[in-house]
Every structure is written in C-alpha cells, then in structure tokens.
Amino acid sequence: MKHFARVTTLAAALLSASLITGTAHAQLAPAAQPAAAATAPAEARKANIVIIGTGGTIAGAGASATNTAAYQSAVVPVDKIIASVPEISKVANVKGEQIFQIGSESFNNERLLKLAKRVSELLKQPDVDGIVITHGTDTIEETAYFLNLTLKSDKPVVVVGSMRPGTALGADGALNLYDAVLVASNPASKGKGTLAVLNDEIHTGRDVTKSNTFKTETFRSPFGPLGYVVEGRTLFYRLPARPHTLQTQWDIDKIDKLPEVAVVYAYGNANPAAVEAAVKSGAKAIIYAATGNGSVGDYMVEPLKAARAKGVHIVRASRTGSGVVVRNAEQPDDKYDWIVTDDQLPQKARILMALALTQTNDTKALQQVFWKY
C-alpha cells in the first residue's frame, strides 16, 4: 500500500499548493456546491480504492466489434481493464488485484469465501477507503448479497460488471467501472452495505438481480435502485431497509465453510427425483423455487415432507422473480416444519440459508432470519 501513501501525499501537496496560489477549484468550497453536493465526489483527498478482478464479461473480448453477446469472458487482466479507463485516476488512487479469472457462473462456495475473506482483509487496512470488485454479471447478485451480509466494515464495497465485452460496439464496462470507482470513493456510500453499480444505477446487494440475458439494462431491484451515477455525481435517493454488514450476525472472518443448500426448481410435471437427489448428496436445506406464491404440486408435497423428515430444511420460495411468499397460505408450513423466504429470490435464499445454518438448525430461528434479512 506504499503506492497509495505516495499518491495521497502528492495529492495533499498539490492541494495545499493550489490553495496557497489561490487556484483551488470551486468544488473544494462547500458553499459553491449545488444542493445534492452531499453525495457528490468533491473531496480534498482522493480515495484509495482496490479493484479486485474476478473475471466475467467486463474482462471479456470478442472476435469483432459486432460481437456484443458472443465472446470469451474472463480473459483481460484487471490491470489492463483499469489502464483502459484513464479517467479513473482523476477520481481515485486505484490498485488492481487479480484474485480469479473466471466466468461468474463458476463461482462456488470456496471461491466466494476466498473473495469475501480477501475483501475483509483489505477493508481492515487504514489506507484502503473502499473496494471495487469486477465480476461476471451472472452471479454478481449472489456475491453482492453474501458480502452485504458478512463484511464487518462500513467502508464502501461495490461490485461491478458489464453486459458487453470491452471490444464490442457500445461496450458498457468502462463507464460502469468508472462509476463504480466514483461510488466506492464517495463518503456518502459508507454504511450502505455492498452496492452494485451498473448501467448508471446504484443497487443494494440485497435486492439486485439480473433480469435479462443480453441487454445492458438488465439489473433491477424490485423496490428500485438506491440511486444513480450521473455525470460523475453519486446520487442516493433511498437507503437499504434490511440489516447489512456491521448490523448482521455473521462475520466472514469466522466462517470457513458453508453448508450445502440445494435449489430445486418447480415446473409442470416436475420430477421428485430432484428432491431425493439433493437429500442424497448431503444438502442441509432445499430452496424450493415453487410456482406462484410458493405453491407446491400435490405430487411434490410428500417428497418434500420426506426430505424434512430426514432433517433437511425446506424453504418455499417463488420462481416468479418478485413478491412475498406467505407463510401457511399455499402450504401449512407450521404443520410441515417448513420455512418461507419472505421476498428473497431462490438463488439469494440459498446464500442466506447457508449463512443461517452456520449458526442454528432451529426452524423458528431460521424463519426469523428470512424475515429479518
């Protein structure tokens, strides 16, 4: 981190020189700021941001500029990505660190833990002000939710990706990365949990989800984004309502393994063998991505009850993509000793359930976790 220290000293020297010579930028004078300035990136000292590269399309390359959706992901090193956006150096002192070079569909528990532990380590360093993680968009929402629940710091952590490789016409990675660094550098982003910045929007790691296979406007939160990034300004309009980071019961430094949690998807003529396979493979819980408001086909009730009888927790979720699964409505959860996800998507419910199971096996306590987070 010597590099950060040097740049900071240089920035301070330049700042004091400009103040002495009377050439301080108007943006340094609080009175000259417009109303939204509390969230604008006007700082006397540039923030020190570590950009951790994990791969994904933001590190992808296509054969031609017209390959916007067919390309190889996870090939460009993070330092090269950073160098391709020179504007970043005007807003922060950045340092790249390559932890993986993978498509995010290849994330597993081991990789997730390794990433989260490294982020935690970096956040403890006094000369690190924030972290940006370049990540594939496919599972960015799972990583964001996991970090949101397990990091013990109020420093900004921002996940970012892109839908098009840097080689494509209309590539979105450069601006997304620039915006992510802006958000991570801004003191207004402190204490808001893990954020996802893509397509001019700032989302909470709890809610963000990918909703389209190829469009740049793919990330959505059912309750809307927390804010926007516009013309270099970080603008927040909402706050995350559910506990995160410092307020949660998990600490990544104390988690070395996650229990196996399976997701079983519901469809007409679904095969109960999927439930049985999950039980056999050692899953401690099954997130049942049920139809509608967590409804379970008559031929699937017994296999799920049998799984619960073997000690495997059953969590009713919905495959619809949003909305609350109501307890004891479509199924008698109290009677079956099942759990409902509240509004959490199946893939995110898996993350929460795995974390919850590191602390308790009690159904009531597990249900509370879903209502709380």
Return the active site residues.
57
105 binds ligand ASP (CB under 6 A): yes
Nearest 5 degrees, angle CA 171-CA 85-CA 170?
Answer: 10
DSSP class of 291? B
Smaller CB distance to ligand ASP: residue 73 or 209? 73
CB 240 within 8 A of CB 204: yes
Among 41, 53, 103, 240, binds ligand ASP (CB under 6 A): 103
Q: Which residues of 114-128 are buried (b: 16+ CB within 10 A; e: fewer)?
A: ebbebbbebbeeeeb
Distance in Å, CB of 159 to ligand ASP, minimum: 11
Closest separation in Å from C-beta 103 to ligand ASP:
4
Amino acid in position 303: P
Nearer to ligand ASP, 160 or 188 (CB): 160
Residue 105 or 302: the one with the smaller Cβ distance to ligand ASP is 105
- Is 342 a binding residue for ligand ASP by CB under 6 A? The answer is no
CA distance 139 to 116: 14
- Of the candidate spans 20-28, 30-38, 103-111, 149-157, the one that interacts with ligand ASP by CB under 6 A turns out to be 103-111
Only one of the segments 33-41, 134-142, 262-270, 345-353 lies at the binding site for ligand ASP (rule: CB under 6 A); that segment is: 134-142
Residues 144-163 that bind ligand ASP (CB under 6 A): 161, 163
CB closer to ligand ASP out of 136 and 193:
136
- By beta carbon distance, the residue nearest ligand ASP is 136
By CB under 6 A, which span of 38-46, 110-118, 133-141, 340-348 interacts with ligand ASP?
Answer: 133-141
Residue 357 in tokens: 């199971």
In a 3-state reduction of DSSP, which class is residue 162? coil
Cβ-based nearer residue to ligand ASP, 100 or 288: 100
**8-67 positions binding ligand ASP, by CB under 6 A:** 55-57
Q: How many Å apart are CA 29 and CA 32, to the nearest integer?
A: 6
* Integer Cα distance of 41 and 215 in angstroms: 29
Structure tokens at 155: 């420093």
Query: Whole-angstrom Cα distance, residue 274 to residue 262?
Result: 10
CB of 168 to ligand ASP, least distance (A): 12
Which class for 372: exposed (0-12), middle (13-18), buried (19 or more C-beta within 10 A)?
A: middle
Closer Cβ to ligand ASP, 32 or 69, answer by number: 69
Region at 295 (left for phi over 0; alpha for psi -120 to 50; beta for the rest): beta
Q: Is 87 in the site for ligand ASP (CB under 6 A)?
A: no
Pairing of strands 209-210, 219-220: antiparallel
- Which residues have CB under 8 Å from 17's CB, separation 6+? none
The footprint of ligand ASP (CB under 6 A) covers: 55-57, 73, 103-105, 136-138, 161, 163
